[in-house]
Structure 1
Amino acid sequence: MVGMVGADADSFSNGDAMSRDGFRLRRARLGIDGQITSQWKYSLELDLVDEFSGGNVLLDASVTWIACRHAWIRAGVGKAPFSRMLLTSSAKLQFVERPHWVGRENSVDGYMLDPGRQLGLTVGGAVAFLRWQVGVYNGTPGFSAGNFNDGLMYAVRLEGGLGNLGTAEADFERSGPRFAVGLNGYLNQAPAANVRAAGVDAGFKWQGLSVWLEAVWAKAVPDSRPAGTDTIMDETESWGMSAQAGYMLPFDDMDLELAARFAIMDDNVHFENEGDMWEVTAGVNWYLMKNNLKLMLDYVLKEELHGADLSNDAVLAMLQLAF
């Protein structure tokens, strides 16, 4: 059985951590992982808070067949193979929240830079230093009502490197240099439009230092346009980039980490508004039991490049328990 509870001291509105004082239960999840045989595994995870799961209490529900040491097939609900940052469990992040575009898209149901969890089939595996995943999905939020798309969603991710970066962003191992580079993309045949997305990411760890870089891009093009319609203004094109680093301080009796991140985004390149912004996050993490029990403290500075200058800087503190 697996579970996670994360409580922080702030509130969320329209994808922003606001400056009002207060408390909230950020995440409360309960799940079961197991195996029927050595080749068949299953996973079930529920979101007991249901803040950004698109109205679904169910987060993950899948069955995986390990065909051989180099390949596996997974059927059910889970994350589409897109974006290293999104594929990393929220329990294993270096900051309370992912970059701004993730929360912003979730708050307005705009699944472009973050395609969310999907119902479908994923095939993956590893050969030497190369890891790969290919999947086909409904491409729409919700799991029980079927597919409302005009077609399907197709996604692919390739990743290669030297050494094992692990599943957590922090470098608990404090060992020699390791790195990985990933490429991914998807095509979603959504209602009335095709959404294309691509991304690249890189990670590096060495002696307690961890560095993560990522850039993602997405564009939605209508299937058809009425006569006289502007062929540019009816498209939606967005992008985001982030660079972050963390360092585990050289203490023998405690795991204390300093971390910083810069992120910049444009929610639609055809409009200049508050969706064009950058943010800087500085954090301190105290890992009492690695990611199973940790205290996190973040300061987030946000600056809108166009439109209104919002008062959305924030101080976030979170206690997380995962088991």
Structure 2
Amino acid sequence: MENDLIHSILYINFESIDETYPTKDIPQVLNEATKNLISNKCFSLLLSDNRIIPKSSLIIPFPSINLKGLIRYFEWMDETKKGGLRQAALIVLFKEVDDLIFYKYIEIFESLLGKFSQKITNIEIDKAQTHSVDEFLKDLLLQTKVVLEDLKNQELSEQKSEEFPEDTSDLYDPTDYSFKIIIVGDPEVGKTSITLRFTNKAFLRTYIPTLGVNITDKNIRVDHSKIKVIIWDIAGQSKFQTTRKNFYRGAEGIVLVFDLTKQKSFDNLNDWHKDVEKTLNRGNKYIGFLLGNKKDLKNERTVKKEDAELLANKLNLRYIETSALTGENVMFIFHKIGEILLSNLLKKEG
């Protein structure tokens, strides 16, 4: 089973406005300082929304410990407490590098956490129950691992179907038509979410944490041809500045991504473009797109479309706006890049 994906599961009981404390963690691998850090951040989030329980689960980062947490808040009536309510949270902790899996399948995990939060609620209300919170946490850990194993097997099955389609009579060998596309931009603009939305692969990817790159691929059909799009999702953090330039080499398509709600991510695009241009052989033409992500956040938008189009023209790139959340234009952009690259290649061969 996928034993390494789950770091631990934490149950936090929010006793009062002034104090939070973890009551249980399975397995017991967290020290007290770490548990306090996690519980304080979770409680702060709850306070920021006036202690209103979120309707859905959340994923939040804990960068100081290189973990993220999938959090399910819940509450129950308790007349012995001020306000008549008790509030708590279940947290599945996992490594930052595995967050794609939990983002992709969040609805499945949310259902699982919902079921166990209800079980724990019943225990808290009825202290006479024979089951304990510890038992339910162990069961939750086991079931989460089983779900992860099933999801991985499902992806593997889908990958085999994609690699060996039933009808290949009119398809070229995909290895003859493969193109490298690099995705660059500031951290947290949605590069990885865009890649996941396109490839639909959370388990089947190669991540090199020491170098800061995710490599994944997808076969697509263009007319009667089948091509492999190989996507290099390159980390935007400054600590990878030296190593990431090696990943630019050989790219036939580039996608510069910025966040439509963050002006700074747009302002930095010139630097990203220069960074890529320095490495790529200027004699080789590549297909380039400027991509404004998070189009769905209309009320938070800070970058004007006209400004983005002007920059795209200046950099000789095509401009398009997408939403990794809704999927708008994500498939289109990669299919378009593949279409242009294949057309250019066939013209050279012809």
TM range (shorter): under 0.3
Q: TM-score, normalised by structure 1?
A: 0.26
Instruction: Pick 1 or 2: higher relative contact order, CA cutoff 8 A, min separation 6.
Output: 1
Q: TM-score, normalised by structure 2?
A: 0.24
Structure number having the greater strand percentage: 1
The structure whose Rg is larger is 2
